[in-house]
Structure 1
Amino acid sequence: MNSKTIAYGILRAVSILIGILLLLWFLYKIQSILVYIAFAAVISLMGRPLVLFLKRKLKFNNTLAVVFTLFITIALFLSIFLLFVPIITEQGQLIGEININKIGDDLDRLNEEVSNYFNINKLNLLEVLKQTDLMKYLDLKIIPNLINSFLSGFGAVLIGLFSILFISFFLLKDSQLLENSLLVFAKKEDETKFMRAFTKIKDLLSRYFVGLLLQVLILFTLYTILFLIFGVHNPIAVALIAAIFNLIPYIGPLFGGILVLILATTSNLGMDFSTVILPKLTYILIGYLIIQLIDNFANQPLIFGNSVKSHPLEIFIAILIFGSLFGISGLIVAVPFYTAIKVISKEFLSEYKIVKQLTKGL
């Protein structure tokens, strides 16, 4: 091997490395746009069954079906947003009418009752606040910065929402648009396999996201009934928050349960701990755990088994792996990514025994 060949090989390797680094840098710079595309893709996958229904059953033309689907999507998200208005309004009124001395007395009384009931040392809340140096963060100079941050964030949210809806419209209108965009990365001889895999992924993920929507609806209904029975303030909004938390596997229900217990405690602040607060928290916790059991042993196996054609153990291991690698975001995207990997493996690596075994039901 002569020196020219070696130099050419080194130059080619360095060029490829530089190209990869430039690509990663470019993707990092446009990460917000990639997020918009990802959200739009999810909306298009969730709205695809409705578009097909409107076109096939109600004879809508393609554009009208897409517009109607996006209108339903906007109305759904707007309704969810409006559910939180009563909580924000109520908290604003409470802040305006706040009585620091009364709240301090209520918290001190609750602290003392909890300590006496469980026979533990009383926790000095004032000392805890002093040790955390909370007061050093209460600087009036940060208020203008907070206002500016809010206004800039609000503008970014509006731009993001418009971008997502705009992209969603064209993804729903032309179902082949995303496939054709990604097809440029496939070799000519692999285009058929690529299209077949992408169509399969789209069908499976469409059913998966619709299944998640159904799961949230079922949990929202059960939580609402539970919170209405035990008098939790703003039960509909709290139930929706708890149901949305459930979209994060394993740790989501834990955070949702803690939030529910905190809200239930604060809504009964000032009442007797042993006769009012503790029994109510116990009943709410029991009801919450029963709903979780229903979700774990009925809802999730049905969604995962029928939508993405995967065994619950596969899903569990995939979620653990993605969660270990990417944290909470990995937990959320584990099932869609694992499904895509399975479908692609079936098309391009079907000669391997392990791929045949894992993709048997696809």
Structure 2
Amino acid sequence: MITSKTIANGIVRAVLILAAIFLLLLFLYKIQVLFIYLAIALVVALIASPIIHFLENKLKFKHTLAVITTLALLLLLLIGFILLFVPLIITQSHNLSLLDTAKLQEDLNSVIMHVKSYFSDYNIDTDKLMKEADITSSINFKFIPNFINSLVGILSGFGVGLASVLFISFFFLKDTELFTKSFRKILPDEHEEKILHSIKKVNHLLSRYFIGLIIQMSILFVMYLIVLLIFGVENAFIIAFITAFLNIIPYVGPLIATVLVIVLTMLGHIGPEHQGEMLSTTIYVVIGYSIAQAIDNNVSTPLIFSNSVNSHPLEIFIVILASGFVFGILGMIIAVPVYTAIKVVAKEFFPQNPVVKILTKDL
């Protein structure tokens, strides 16, 4: 017979369990940055692995020395990347002091008037359309200084994260064998080889994926740089680098890059002697960026990623799009690596499944 004491004890136990779960979730939420550091360190380790293997096999480096050398090279590249921001920030800070938003608004109105005159020759009434859109009043160029300030704030606050990622990456790379041996001890014997083989295969494919991503961004960087140099945009090298790097976010990244290059191109043409060319140059740069992105989307991306992770371009597109709908931008970034890992595990454990056979026939 269930007594009131038993019920009370059950309620207390349930409350304690719920409280423990809540505290655990709260704790995980508070240390979410640590998981981000771990994820970034894992990516660094995957990118660094081929370099370490080259140093060990071709140049006969000791393992620890190869790890230190590789991380030092990556750190130097990062420092060089950061230093590239210095002239950009100095130049744009100077340009902001010259910004005449009233003149910019006047130039924009002048362009709109020319467009209206052009369409009126074809009996297209743009007055009503412009009035309904209310474009001139809805555009506020005061957002430009706020954007630059936010960018500087983000760049100035990642020192601790950099040190943490380097520290974690070093031990991921240095003690790989130790981690593998320790991991073996907790694996069930009947699945040990399958799991370890899956991990090895995933590491190989993801290393190829991230190297492919670097190649893709390099190609895009060259195309962006050519466009910016043709139209004489200030700090073309660093702007091309930043906007190419944003391509790490599939499909959305190029849109952000386009907005950013619009802002920076306009800032580079502030001043009495250049402001008249601001809008025309910005339009030409946007057209150039659009052509570069079209080449990347239809040529570079399908070829590089379909070969690096052995997946069909349409398959990659659907996975990225679905992940974006469910998890947002972060989902789009991690979609291909996670999907690749799932495919490898599925092929290892369910090789006879007809769906798995179709999806993993090239793995």
Question: Scaled by the length of structure 2, what TM-score is found?
Answer: 0.80
Specify the alignment match of 1:141 in structure 2: none
Specify the alignment match of 1:296 in structure 2: 297
Amino acid in structure 2 at the alignment position of 1:249:
P
Query: Is contact 1:304-1:310 (8 Å) kept?
Result: yes
Query: Is contact 2:37-2:161 (8 Å) kept?
Result: yes
Specify the alignment match of 1:40 in structure 2: 41
Query: What's the CA shift string for 1:92-151, capped at 9, x where partnerless?
Result: 3334xx256xx034223213212202225586867976xx9x9xxx9xxxxxxx9xxx69
Specify the alignment match of 1:286 in structure 2: 287
SS in 2 for 1:246: helix
Query: Is contact 2:95-2:268 (8 Å) kept?
Result: no
Specify the alignment match of 2:252 in structure 1: 251
Query: Is contact 2:249-2:333 (8 Å) kept?
Result: yes
Q: Percent identity?
A: 43
Specify the alignment match of 1:115 in structure 2: 112
Deviation at 1:164, TM superposition (A): 0.8
Matched, 1:220 2:217: no
Specify the alignment match of 1:143 in structure 2: none
Specify the alignment match of 2:123 in structure 1: none
Query: What's the CA shift string for 1:191-231, capped at 9, x where partnerless?
Result: 11110100000000011111111111111122111101111
Specify the alignment match of 2:175 in structure 1: 174
**Counterpart Cα distance in 1 of 2:75 and 2:314:** 36
SS in 1 for 2:248: coil
Specify the alignment match of 2:122 in structure 1: none
Matched, 1:306 2:307: yes
Query: What's the CA shift string for 1:300-358, capped at 9, x where partnerless?
Result: 12221221111111111110111111101111110101111111111122231101111
Specify the alignment match of 1:104 in structure 2: 101
Deviation at 1:169, TM superposition (A): 0.8
Tell me: CA distance 1:352–1:68, structure 2 relative to 1, closer, same or farther (3 Å): same
Query: Is contact 1:271-1:277 (8 Å) kept?
Result: no
Tell me: CA distance 1:83–1:272, structure 2 relative to 1, closer, same or farther (3 Å): closer
Query: What's the CA shift string for 1:237-279, capped at 9, x where partnerless?
Result: 1101210121111111112112222332343355799x94555
Specify the alignment match of 1:198 in structure 2: 199
Query: What's the CA shift string for 1:16-43, capped at 9, x where partnerless?
Result: 9887666544432321211111111110
SS in 1 for 2:361: coil
SS in 2 for 1:280: helix
SS in 1 for 2:299: helix
Tell me: CA distance 1:27–1:220, structure 2 relative to 1, closer, same or farther (3 Å): same
Amino acid in structure 2 at the alignment position of 1:104:
T
**Counterpart Cα distance in 1 of 2:33 and 2:266:** 39
Query: What's the CA shift string for 1:74-108, capped at 9, x where partnerless?
Result: 0111111111111111123334xx256xx034223
Amino acid in structure 2 at the alignment position of 1:310:
S
**Counterpart Cα distance in 1 of 2:135 and 2:282:** 23
SS in 2 for 1:351: coil
Specify the alignment match of 2:29 in structure 1: 28
Query: Is contact 1:54-1:65 (8 Å) kept?
Result: yes
Question: Scaled by the length of structure 1, what TM-score is found?
Answer: 0.81
Unaligned 5+ residue runs, structure 2?
117-126
Tell me: CA distance 1:349–1:229, structure 2 relative to 1, closer, same or farther (3 Å): same
Specify the alignment match of 1:160 in structure 2: 161
**Counterpart Cα distance in 1 of 2:350 and 2:21:** 25
Deviation at 1:185, TM superposition (A): 6.0
Amino acid in structure 1 at the alignment position of 2:112:
S
Query: Is contact 1:51-1:66 (8 Å) kept?
Result: yes
Which is worse superposed, 352-361 or 120-129? 120-129
Query: Is contact 1:66-1:169 (8 Å) kept?
Result: yes
Amino acid in structure 2 at the alignment position of 1:54:
L
**Counterpart Cα distance in 2 of 1:236 and 1:99:** 23
**Pairwise mapping of residues 25-174 of structure 1 onto structure 2 (< 5 A)?**
25-95=26-96, 98-99=97-98, 103-119=100-116, 121=130, 157-174=158-175
Query: Is contact 1:171-1:177 (8 Å) kept?
Result: no
**Counterpart Cα distance in 1 of 2:286 and 2:348:** 46
**Counterpart Cα distance in 2 of 1:63 and 1:230:** 47
Tell me: CA distance 1:214–1:110, structure 2 relative to 1, closer, same or farther (3 Å): same
**Pairwise mapping of residues 319-330 of structure 1 onto structure 2 (< 5 A)?**
319-330=320-331
Unaligned 5+ residue runs, structure 1?
139-145
Tell me: CA distance 1:350–1:185, structure 2 relative to 1, closer, same or farther (3 Å): farther
